[in-house]
Structure 1
Amino acid sequence: MSRAYPEGPPEKVFVPNAPPVPTPKIYKYAALFTLVLQTTSIILLLRVSRTASGVKYLSSTAVAVTEVLKVLICLAVMLVQSGGSVVEVVRSLHAEIWLKPVETLKLLIPAALYTIQNNLLFLALSHLDAATYQVTYQLKILTTAIFSVTMLSKRIASHQWIAVLLLTIGVALVQMPAGTDATVKKKEGNTLIGLTAVIAACFSSGFSGVYFEKLLKSSKTSLWIRNIQLGAFSIIIALAGVIVADWAAVREGGFFQGYNWLTWVVITFHGVGGIIVALTIRYADNILKCFAGAVSIILSCVISYVFLNDFIPTMVFTLGTFMVIVATFVYGYEKPTPTDHVLKP
C-alpha cells in the first residue's frame, strides 16, 4: 500500500514492491462515497436498535466496544500489509507508539473529545426527535469550517463560505420538523438537555476532527498507527465513562445486557465508520466529510419514504435537497485562476 503526500514521494508501508495505486483524488471520492453509504445505513440501523422492544443496551458500553473493534480492524490491516508478519507489526507499533511517547500523547485530546462526543450524541437522541437532532447537528459544518481556518490556516474561498451557509440552510429545510402540537408539547421537557448535548457535540466534532486532520497531514505516521493510538486512548476513556455513568447497571445486568444481533451490527458499522472517517480526513478534508454526512441525511429520508413508508417529502424537502446539491457542487468548484478572492479569518 502506498500513499501520496504533497511534500514528497509516496511512502511505502511494509511491501517493498507495492503495485501502483489509484491517485489521491480517486481515494478522496471513494472515501466520501463510502462514507455516505455507511452514514446512511447507521442512521437507519441505530433508529431500529434504539426503538426495538426489550432490554435496552447501554450506550456507554457500545461506545467502548466500538473503539475496541476499531483497534482490531487497524491491527488486522497492518497484519495484511506486513504479509502476515506479527513480528513486523509489533516492531512498527513499538517504533511508532512506545518510542514516540510525545507523538502518541497528541492523540489523547481527540480521543477524549471523540468519546465524549459519541456519548453526547446518544444523550441527544434520547431527548430529541430525529429531525431536530439532525438539523442541529449540522452546526458541525460551520464549526469545522471555522476551526479549519483558525487551526490549519486553510484558505477557504468566498464561494466556499457561501456553499457552507447554503448547505446548512438546505439541510435545515430538509429536516424541518412537521410534528403536531401534541408531539411538540410531549418533548418540551427534555428539549433543552438534548439541544445542549448536540451543540456541545458539534463543537467537539469540529475541533477534534480538524485537530486529527492536522496530525494526519503533518506527519508521515501510518493512518493505521494513528487510529490505534486514538483507539487505545478512547478505550480507556470510554471504559472510565462506563464506570462513572453505568457501573450500577453493569453490576446488575452485565456489560452486554440488551445486546442482540442488531446491536452488534450497529457496533460494527460504527467501528468501520470510524476508519472511513479517518480515510476521508486523510484524502479529503473535514468540510467535505460534513457534506457527505449532509447528503446521507437526505438519502436516509428518501429510503424512509420508499422502503419504510414513514416519511412524505414536501416542497420544503425538495427545495432543501436542491440547495444541498447546489452547495456541494459550489464548494467543490475550483476557479481556473490563482487569484481567487478568499475570506480570511
Structure 2
Amino acid sequence: MHISLPGVLLISLTLYRSTASNLLHLAGVQSHYSYSVAVLIGEFAKIAICFAVAVRQFDKTHLSGSNNRLQRYRRAGQRVWSETFTAQAWELLVPASLYVAQNNLCLYAAERLMPSIYQSIWQIRLLPTALLTGIFLKKYPSAQRWFCLWGIALGVIVIESAAISAKEGMKKSATITQNANADIVFGSLALLSASFCSAMSVVVLERIFKNGKSNFWVTNLQLSVFSLVPAYTLVLLDCWRAASIFAPFHAFFSGYWPWIAIVVQTGSGILAGLVTKYADGITNSISGVISIALTAFVDQILRSQDMTRASRITIMIGIGSVVACTYLYSVFPARGSPQMPHQPRKSSISLPRFHLSSTQKSGDRIRSAID
C-alpha cells in the first residue's frame, strides 16, 4: 500500500501537535525550568540539524562528482556557512528576536493553560497577522476570511470566560481559585503577546524577502544563528535575577522534563516547516483542527474534575467555533486571487518558526507562516 509524503506528514504532524501541547504543559508543571535556557538550547539543536541537512543537500546537488567525501563535506560546509552570513542575513536579527520572545512566552503560557485552551487561543494569531499585513503591506483578507477571523476571536473569548468561571465554580479555597484564575489570565496574555510577536515577524520577513528566493534549511539556519544573541541575553537576565550563574540551569540536571520540552520545541518547528514545504494548506489546516479536537477530548477525560459540567460544555462550544473558523479560513480564497489554490501554511505549539522554500516566492512563503 502506497502512502504519499503529504499523508505521512499529515498523520505525523497531527499526532505531534496533539501530544506536544500536553507534554509542554506537563514539563512546566513537573519541573519549573528556565524558559530562556530551554529556548537557547533549542536554538543550538536547530543550528546543528539545519546545518547538517543543508550541507548534505549541497553535497548531493553540487559536489557529487568528487570521490573524496571528507573534502566534499568540507567544501559544502564552507559554502553553507558563507550563505548564512550574507549582507542581507543580518537583517534577520529583528525577526529572530521576535521569535525568541514568542518562544519564551509560549512556554510560559503552556505551563499555565490547559492544552486544549492553549491550542485554541493560539489560533487567534491569525487576526493580528491579518491586521498588520494589511496596515504595512496593503494585503487585506477577503470578507469571508475576516468573518472567520472574528469567529476565532469570539471562540477564544467564550473559552476564556468559561475557563475562569469554571475555576470560580469549583469548591476550592479562595487562594487556590485566585491562583488558578491568575494562571489563566497571565497565560492568555502571554499567548496573545506571542501572537503579536508572530504577526510582526511575518511582516518583517516579508519585507526582507520581498522578491528573493532562499533555501529552506539555510534560512532556518540563519534564523537560529541570529536567535542566539537575544536568547543568550535572556539567559543572562535570568542569571542576574537569580543572583547565580548556575541557578537557571539547575532544573536541566535534575530531571528529564526540561529536555522533553526542548525536544518538543525543536521538533515542532522543523516538522511544521516540512509540512509547509511538501503539503498544501488544506492538509496543514486539517492537521491543526484535528489536533485541537483530539487535545480537547483528552482534556475532557483527564481534567474534567477541574471544572463544572456547564463550563465543559461552554469550552467545547468555543473550541468548536475556533476549529470550524480555522478550517474555513484556509478554504476561503484571499482577496484578489480567488482562482489560486490556498498556499501552504505553518502551524505549531511552541512558538512557530518561519520556514522558506526554495521554490516559493516570498509573499507565499510569508503567508504560509501565519497558520
Q: What band does the TM-score fall into relative to the shorter chain?
A: 0.7 to 0.9
The 1:218–1:287 alpha-carbon spacing in structure 2 relative to 1, beyond 3 Å, is farther
Matches within 5 A, 1:72-111: 72-81=48-57, 82-83=59-60, 85-98=72-85, 100-101=86-87, 103-111=88-96
The 1:290–1:230 alpha-carbon spacing in structure 2 relative to 1, beyond 3 Å, is farther
Larger CA deviation: 200-209 vs 292-301: 292-301
- 1:161 pairs, out of 128, 146, 158, with 146
Pair 1:179-2:172 in alignment: no
Q: CA deviation at 1:115?
A: 0.8
The 1:291–1:148 alpha-carbon spacing in structure 2 relative to 1, beyond 3 Å, is farther
Q: Which runs of 5+ in 1 are unaligned?
A: 1-21, 341-345
The 1:289–1:149 alpha-carbon spacing in structure 2 relative to 1, beyond 3 Å, is farther
Q: Hey, what does 2:322 align to over in structure 1?
A: 324
CA contact (8 A) 1:124 1:198 kept: yes
- 1:255 pairs, out of 249, 256, 263, with 249
Q: Hey, what does 2:260 align to over in structure 1?
A: 265
CA contact (8 A) 2:27 2:258 kept: yes
- 1:118 pairs, out of 86, 100, 103, with 103
CA contact (8 A) 1:216 1:223 kept: no
Pair 1:50-2:28 in alignment: yes
CA contact (8 A) 2:27 2:111 kept: no
Query: Percent of aligned pairs with the same residue?
Result: 26
2:245 counterpart SS class: helix
Larger CA deviation: 203-212 vs 286-295: 286-295
The 1:60–1:41 alpha-carbon spacing in structure 2 relative to 1, beyond 3 Å, is same
CA contact (8 A) 2:24 2:261 kept: yes
Q: Hey, what does 1:16 align to over in structure 2?
A: none
The 1:339–1:279 alpha-carbon spacing in structure 2 relative to 1, beyond 3 Å, is closer
Distance 1:287 1:104 in 2: 31
Q: Hey, what does 1:296 align to over in structure 2?
A: 291
- 2:231 pairs, out of 233, 238, 249, with 238
CA contact (8 A) 1:304 1:310 kept: no
Structure 1 length-normalised TM: 0.72
Q: CA deviation at 1:50?
A: 1.7
AA matched with 1:324:
V
Distance 1:315 1:41 in 2: 23
Q: CA deviation at 1:307?
A: 6.0
- 1:41 pairs, out of 19, 29, 37, with 19
Q: Hey, what does 1:209 align to over in structure 2?
A: 202
- 2:124 pairs, out of 129, 132, 139, with 139
Distance 2:261 2:250 in 1: 14
Distance 1:307 1:128 in 2: 14
Distance 1:168 1:232 in 2: 34
AA matched with 1:275:
I
Q: What's the CA shift string for 1:137-160, capped at 9, x where partnerless?
A: 443221112223334443421111
Distance 2:317 2:118 in 1: 20
The 1:219–1:30 alpha-carbon spacing in structure 2 relative to 1, beyond 3 Å, is farther
Q: CA deviation at 1:220?
A: 1.7
1:255 counterpart SS class: helix
CA contact (8 A) 2:152 2:325 kept: yes
Q: Which runs of 5+ in 2 are unaligned?
A: 61-68, 339-371
Distance 1:140 1:241 in 2: 24
AA matched with 2:314:
V
Number of residue pairs matched by the alignment = 311
1:179 counterpart SS class: helix
AA matched with 2:220:
N
AA matched with 1:331:
Y
Distance 1:287 1:206 in 2: 21
Larger CA deviation: 255-264 vs 125-134: 125-134
Q: CA deviation at 1:299?
A: 2.5
The 1:211–1:30 alpha-carbon spacing in structure 2 relative to 1, beyond 3 Å, is farther
Larger CA deviation: 171-180 vs 57-66: 171-180
